[in-house]
Amino acid sequence: MAKKISFTKMHGAGNDYIYVDNTHAVLSTPEKWAVDWSRAHTGIGADGLVLIGTSAMADFSMRIFNADGSEARMCGNASRCIGKYVYDKGLTNKTTVTLETLSGIKTLSLHVGNNRQVDQVTVDMDEPCDMRVVDLGDGYDFARGQFVSMGNPHLVLFVPDPDALDIAQIGPRLEHHPLFPDGINVEFAHVLDDGRIRMRVWERGSGITQACGTGACATAVAASLAHLTGRKSIVLMDGGEVTVEWQTTDNHVYMTGGAVKVFDGTIELNN
């Protein structure tokens, strides 16, 4: 008899993942299942797979696998969803939760609604680092971009109209630019008249997604560095918006946004 795995599909601003409680190590070879289950027509359909595990250093741990099976170091939207998952399912009664990731331990502040379930989460995304302007060279549609690491690498490009771009054509070339041998996430952004930042994303290993939490943070930092905004911004993505604040007191970036459960289900581990 094939083994069945319980899962929950969740999204943060449309960035959807399949979440599995792996605190008892129920799922091995997650790279394979991330590919199989992420397929829209023959699987569950998602941007990837997230495993929630135990940790010797934090309340919980997170491993995240993109739709192509590659492992990501960090995901802000997934972190928010984990906060909702562990609280709503009774795995913790804390409203401040620590989460071990490949890019360090993150702190989640859970905002509990009147229904006693989490509706928003603020993630301490730590300090941005390795910030520099990069020259993309000849043969590319953009001359320069802002590099920002938020635990994973981002290239932020400010453009007149992100919605007019053929990101499916441009994104792969930039993801695999020779300057970034390990690949890179790419954000196409524009500051609107009302001060919000419109942003679209090409995610390393997943392609076009509805949102990217670390990408939103990188974009807000890049906009502040370019003096296009202050240190607090609303970033509007295809799937929704998040509020990002780059605080002066500790130089940390704090991201606040929603976390939504789509449905629970079970799936067989077919060979």
pLDDT digit string (tens) for 152-196?
A: 999 999 999 999 999 999 999 999 999 999 999 999 999 999 999
Query: Do 145 and 112 fall into the same domain?
Result: no
Query: Do 162 and 112 fall into the same domain?
Result: no
Cβ of 52: how many Cβ atoms within 10 Å? 22
Looking only at the bridges linking them, the beta strands covering 197-203 and 232-237 are parallel
Query: Do 197 and 220 fall into the same domain?
Result: yes
Query: Do 34 and 134 fall into the same domain?
Result: no
Amino acid at the residue 102: L
Residues of the chain with pLDDT under 50: none
What is the model's pLDDT at position 224? 98
The three-class DSSP label of residue 67 is: coil
Residue 266 · residue 6 · CB < 8 Å = yes
Instruction: Return the half-sphere exposure (C-beta side, CA atoms, 13 A cut-off) of residue 184.
Output: 26
Q: Which residues are catalytic?
A: 75, 212
Which residues, other chains included, contact 247 with Cβ-Cβ below 8 Å and sequence gap of 6+?
Answer: 231, 253, 254
Query: Do 63 and 116 fall into the same domain?
Result: yes
Tell me which residue of 81, 62, 84 sits closest to 73, measured CA to CA. Answer: 62
Buried b (16+ CB within 10 A) or exposed e, 91-100: beeeeebbbb
What is the model's pLDDT at position 161? 97
Looking only at the bridges linking them, the beta strands covering 96-101 and 104-112 are antiparallel
Buried b (16+ CB within 10 A) or exposed e, 117-148: ebebbbbbbbebeeeeeeebeeeeeeeebbbb
Query: Do 215 and 121 fall into the same domain?
Result: no
User: What does each C-alpha distance from 10 to 14, 40, 79, 229, 258 come to in angstroms?
Assistant: 9, 15, 11, 31, 11
Element (H, E) at 33: helix 30-38
| Whole-angstrom distance, CA of residue 236 vs CA of residue 210 | 10
Query: Do 13 and 116 fall into the same domain?
Result: yes
Query: Do 84 and 198 fall into the same domain?
Result: no
Residue 23: CATH number of its domain: 3.10.310.10
What is the model's pLDDT at position 3? 85
Residue 23 · residue 246 · CB < 8 Å = no
State the pTM of this model.
0.93
Which residues, other chains included, contact 177 with Cβ-Cβ below 8 Å and sequence gap of 6+?
Answer: 136, 140, 155, 184
Tell me which residue of 72, 95, 111, 70 sits closest to 213, measured CA to CA. Answer: 72
Query: Do 215 and 143 fall into the same domain?
Result: yes
What is the token pair recorded at 236?
């509007």
Amino acid at the residue 54: T
Amino acid at the residue 128: P
Query: Do 98 and 194 fall into the same domain?
Result: no
What range defines the domain where residue 240 resides? 129-251
Number of domains in the chain: 2
What is the model's pLDDT at position 271? 64
Query: Do 120 and 144 fall into the same domain?
Result: no
Which residues, other chains included, contact 21 with Cβ-Cβ below 8 Å and sequence gap of 6+?
Answer: 6, 52, 85, 89, 91
| Whole-angstrom distance, CA of residue 74 vs CA of residue 131 | 18
Question: Which pLDDT tens digit goes with each residue over 206-226?
Answer: 999 999 999 999 999 999 999
Query: Do 23 and 94 fall into the same domain?
Result: yes
| Whole-angstrom distance, CA of residue 244 vs CA of residue 256 | 7
